[in-house]
């Protein structure tokens, strides 16, 4: 029995609805939605990650931009931090390097925007990132 492929726009509408639920009823550590409500193709997304407790990220809020092209969810979105952050998987320009971030390097069409944000937060709490010196709070790329 083959798998059923959900059309891209239906998938993204479902993610938008889930993002609204996470914002209202989730644990509050990640949130996301369309960056521009007039983006009918649902390409440009914005996310926020609350830094994990007991790390150098504690109390900080990081903003992330995601771009889902016409091949999403079969192809991973492009992910870029707007808020400056020092993480092993983030380049000097804020772009998340797929080679160093397991979710993007091993992309699976079952993954979604929430998966990316939750795993980036988990990356912040990892032993090799939890104590890295960070740029001044509130600075952007």
User: Mean pLDDT of all residues in the chain?
Assistant: 93
93-115 mean pLDDT: 97
pLDDT in tens, 33-74: 999 999 999 999 999 999 999 999 999 999 999 999 999 999
Pairing of strands 78-81, 30-34: unpaired
pTM of the model: 0.92
Separation of alpha carbons 87 and 102, rounded Å: 13
**Per the structure block, which two tokens stand in for 39?**
């983006």
């Amino acid at each position: 029995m083959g798998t059923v492929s959900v059309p891209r726009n239906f998938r993204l509408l479902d993610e938008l609805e889930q993002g609204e639920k996470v914002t209202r009823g989730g644990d509050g550590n990640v949130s996301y939605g369309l960056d521009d409500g007039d983006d009918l193709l649902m390409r440009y997304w914005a996310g926020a990650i609350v830094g994990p407790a007991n790390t150098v990220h504690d109390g900080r809020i990081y903003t992330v931009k995601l771009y889902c092209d016409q091949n999403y969810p079969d192809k991973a979105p492009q992910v870029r931090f707007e808020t400056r952050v020092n993480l092993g998987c983030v380049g000097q320009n804020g772009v998340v390097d797929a080679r160093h971030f397991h979710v993007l390097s091993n992309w699976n069409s079952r993954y979604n925007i929430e998966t990316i944000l939750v795993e980036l937060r988990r990356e912040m709490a990892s032993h090799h990132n939890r104590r890295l010196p960070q740029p001044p709070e509130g600075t952007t790329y």
